[in-house]
Amino acid sequence: MSTHVLVLDDDDGIRTSLTLALEDEGYLVTGCSAAEEALAAVTDGAQPDVMVVDLMLGGIDGFTFIRRVRPVCGSPVIVLSARHDKSDIVAALEAGADDYVTKPFDLGELFARLRALRRRVEGTAGAHEEEAVVLDSVEGPLVLDAAAGTVRRGAQQLHLTVTEFRLLRELAGAPGRVLSRRTLLERVWDRGFFGDERIVDVHVRRLRTKVEADPSTPRLVTTVRGLGYRLDVR
């Protein structure tokens, strides 16, 4: 089955050329010129496997689109933007993006990022041998079910992105042990992400907002200063 990619870019030339290039590579593409159109496509139609999103859009910008789409779609998001500033990259990741490619971009690099994200999704979907584990029984049972690809707090299913789920699964696979940022980059992001280990910090912060009772005082996903992160099963 073809990988379905949603492309959101208000530049007609870039959107059209990218759509044609992706289709030549065998992808199924939905092209959108506005965030409102893309939100409708995600909520009313078949959800894409990956979304490629520009940040500088007319009307609703890319940051807002990512924040709005996250509650209804956990598919990976690649930001494609002319904004090179590190603060913009971090802001996009904080909003819920998984990867960031700056314009002008090389198609070969973009295709490589897409393949890496698809491997990440398929690796999550293929985790059928792992048993469900209870990570927290103090604040109500927090259960990671790798086979089902879900995380639940009691009867409520938590909406984690693919990256957040893989990050939690890696930490849960070594309870009580410190995993360095570099180790997490290699395991969760395949060959890494920008070579910048601070990207892990951004996703840990997002993960904490979903699994911690008080994200400002984390008791489950804890920081070991200078070394990395540890999951403390409670």
Cα separation of 108 and 122, whole Å?
21
- Note the pLDDT of residue 96: 86
CATH code assigned at 227: 1.10.10.10
Instruction: Confirm if 199 and 189 have CB atoms less than 8 A apart.
Output: yes
Instruction: Confirm if 63 and 95 have CB atoms less than 8 A apart.
Output: yes
Q: What is the CA radius of gyration of the chain?
A: 18
- Note the pLDDT of residue 129: 54
CATH code assigned at 26: 3.40.50.2300
**194 and 164 within one domain:** yes
Instruction: Confirm if 99 and 196 have CB atoms less than 8 A apart.
Output: no
Residue numbers in the chain where pLDDT is lower than 70: 1, 120-130, 190-196
> Which residue, of 103, 125, 147, is where some domain finishes?
125
- Note the pLDDT of residue 13: 92
pTM: 0.71
| Helices of type H across the chain | 12-24, 35-44, 62-69, 86-95, 107-125, 162-172, 181-188, 198-211
What is the number of structural domains in the chain? 2
Instruction: Confirm if 64 and 79 have CB atoms less than 8 A apart.
Output: no
**141 and 87 within one domain:** no
For 7-56, the three-class secondary structure string (H helix, E strand, C coil) is: EECCCHHHHHHHHHHHHHCCCEEEEECCHHHHHHHHHHCCCCCEEEECCC
Instruction: Confirm if 46 and 23 have CB atoms less than 8 A apart.
Output: no
Cα separation of 82 and 84, whole Å?
6
**97 and 36 within one domain:** yes
Residue 73 structural domain: 4-125
